[in-house]
Chains A and B, each alone.
Chain A
């Protein structure tokens, strides 16, 4: 039944054969697998790395299975509706762009996993590393496969968080922590802006599904919200992709272990911003705003990054600024908004990922072997590390854009596109700056090559370097092979793929024509390339004087600026927080009450008297007496609340009146529940009062009390008015009560509709509730354990009771009475449980009744005596209850029904006549056990605090027992 009521919750919207399922699986695999490394690391570092690799590899294979279809131009979709009203659906789709990024993330991910196995030392917790890596990988895959932009945002934030863990992996290093914080601050802030921009975009388009949204170019670009949405989205993309002026976090993030840098800064994290721009390209690009902002940001970043890169002495720092520069290059291409530029961008994303990942890894190898990454302390390594040198030289030449490697091809495409780009009326600025960027890029590439590898072999390396084992250079070597192959055979290898990718960047049904070749004839780009290479080499030749100039030139230090901004923001927010949160919790509560009363007051004045259409029920004398009792009791509690015990007793009266009112107002189940909970609550509070002071001291002056009284009175008046209006107005919408009443017997097989709702219609809620109750009891148990394990235990043992203890702690009358009542009370419990489905009663109430019966034994006969006779630990009772309820629910699966659908039938058992059995009984049994366990565990925990030094375990249930006295007397007589 439960399932039939809630059809829309988990409906599979579309399943297009087995292919669609695997998109979910691809996105989920890294997350599911993230637990494995932590477990597997116990079995050794190889096992750990192998399993991590298997996870990534299977996700990669899953993705590549779709590749043929995507390359044919198909788009693969998978979606599950989650909250359709909010537009929040779990929907994925895979097109050319998604395939490109997915392959980069998972493919390079596999290589990084292999590399990291050999890079990390024994002291590094490898399980953590791979877990973070897989979390990050999953988040990245999620971004590129998401169809729903809200889900994309969730994954986006996940990348910021998991990259924080990765960058700060060496958390013993201050640079690592600072770098991670800076990265998180910058990308996280950008992420917040992005949320705003994406939500605006979704609101403009009226849909949050990318596949639909990307068709609405005109609607989006004509909207007045286009510009704010664009700015916010670009803020998100620029911070993530380290575009000027947010480029400063990327080099700081180099404090991370090299595998992380290689992964985050070649293929994944920083490319997420590019991905986003490429993804939204069909609807955002082409406008003047887009062209100016994106092109300029990209251009400045490209030139500036390359310039700073030349003067970096840290290998990874150089590569970091080079990454910034290349990201700028791709951003600029996207800004151009032309077909040729989009093709160039797509191609350069591939090429940059291959040579840059390879370069980061070789830099890591140098660091690993020579124990330094400072270019000034290196040089002459080509003789010592020939294999690493070979890898590095090819990747570096590709980075510099030297033929025949792949970097040359896409750089040519960039220069070609730049040659045709106009900045407003100006036709020479972009080509010139692009050439200068390329020139700088040649300069830093050759500096890396010559200053690290060439020159004489030195004898002052911190550690004598040599080539590492195969495991460590396998990954960069493989990428370098790709660098060569893509360079030489670009058109047959990736030509078609680039076409498909560019088509999905351009969107709107574009069919770009791609022709990749090393030789394009004599074009402007070739001249520009030539100038760049020559100029770059000249620049390098003049490195020494230039470096001296650079060192003396004033440069703003991004870290100082960043720290200053952070310090100011921290000061402001601290001041704000101190102003609002002064530690006076009661003040917060008062503010909360006043505020909510004021807000609701607005609604009160909208009521008109004609709305009160229901006929009031005339009150007899009994309700008025009960009302009077309640009023007086409430007043008494407020007046006498300083006398805690008295207040507690009067509270009990209120509970009883509430319970009676429930009964009067046609809610027998509620009356029973309220009554039994009341008993348990009062016992609980009494137990606690044992340890607390008996009186509340007078602390607040009369002004304060009057203020509180006014607040309380005002809110009370408001709530009373609200309740009155609600009770006398008719339902605004037809109530679903009719459904429950009509189907209770037919569908749930019971005539007590409240109970049927609990165990059947809304069984899932109840299941959650007993779980929560169990958790609450376990928390209390845990807190008790914590207290008993701390210094508090001493305080408790030495505690003086508030009152002298009665001589007869376990009075005979009470012991006998409770003992006699136990079986009767248990029987009542069973009876209430059994009748529950058709008459007032049920698992909740039965559980409370049985708990009270057992509780009485503790109270009368002492903790030790009762505990000794208690065979089932209460933890187990809770667990059994929740499990029985769960298993009963799962049972519905065998009936081909949703979780917790109940079934019932009538059975003839000869002496008892016709008998109804419903599976809901099993569920109710679970409820019963969970309630008994939770209540008893709570009270038992609390009573364990009551031990004092010198307390003897109660040997007998009764302190004074005539029969025992007689036996003891005879024993004594025997001895004499």
Chain B
């Protein structure tokens, strides 16, 4: 039945007017908004600043600084070290936690798992600066840990802070897929290891872990990709510790050297693409599919000691990962909080300040997030329908172009959009449109991929049945296709909206005085040491994201964060 559906997955004639129209639109949008900016930044990175942009002036001068400039070299090494350490830390946190949640009947398991997904949707930079509140020189826990426990932690400003924050934000990429793999593994395979005389530890090392190694590997690669492209965390916590994304920002805003920025972005992108190829290799081999005869659950340890020990461990790790965002909440109500574990004076003064200073930013963020989400819903579903249901030439090209801005570091996309749309014929610098464009191409994959996945899982015969019953193409899309893919598209839209509210990386390159967003405002507050209003805005942002996702989960009756990753 499934094979029949798969064989006939693309019916219809190669071209009908509707498809042709959508195709022209898709080609126009993707060509103008993705291919043009990216090829432009690619070209520019091979041309010296000041030279005209033409093929005759190609040079590797911009890249030579990776050999001559200490700053460039350090940023490259720092990026690799920080990302590598983040991967290690994510594995150390994610793998044992996944094992515990999968194999121990932990109390409040579902709630813990839901909480564990939160770091994926909360903006990491909001968490980043709350580490300053906690562990900075004046931090709430600094003296407690130093004097109370006698532990001298490295300064939170610098590599330590960057790695800690990114690890706590990204370890769910290891945890969640692994949890799935460990929960659904065939118990018989492990039982047969036991009957063959293996001790439990030996079983874990020789059977359980090797079976899920591809899953762990894939998670680790995703963490690496995210970490090497992250801008917000090193921007706030890096200090003198430059990494590639902050170096790009420095080149753009400091010396307005788009050519140099392009060259760095390209090097950074090479790592992302390398990671992506590695990911395809790891997941492409499909891991180890064990043949399961029936749906028997994996055995879970259920002794009270094991259960509560597991709970303690899970609650600790997840709690620490959410501690920064909770701190922001607390700090938002703190009028005075310096050097003590808890604030000494509480008030709403931060909110008052934040509101008087950033009403425009709140409005801008909402306008941009709502606008982009709406465009993504329409464009994503239409493109997904075309990709999934029509025989079209160059479909793979469409896939790649849509996914490219998703895979590339945000700062690279920002640089590309900036260099393409500040010169004629598109002079969009400082407008809301340029932000909208950047948001759109970076987030389109969410709705596109959810809709596409949902379409490929929907039997094509349903649409054919509708046609045969006498409904036209349009009526079929409206009455059958759309209702069936709506939950998936809605899931993609919620994630789009929630993650756009706090988008920092591309915004910081493209905003203007007129189009400051919440994230820019928070960034500014922090730069001027106004941690109070920054916390108030950060708390509002975190709450808005949580409320959106929670409400959408309740409405749809499922976990929408599954549309991530």
Same complex: no
Interface residues of A (CB under 8 A from B): none
Task: Tell me the B residues contacting A by CB distance below 8 Å.
Answer: none
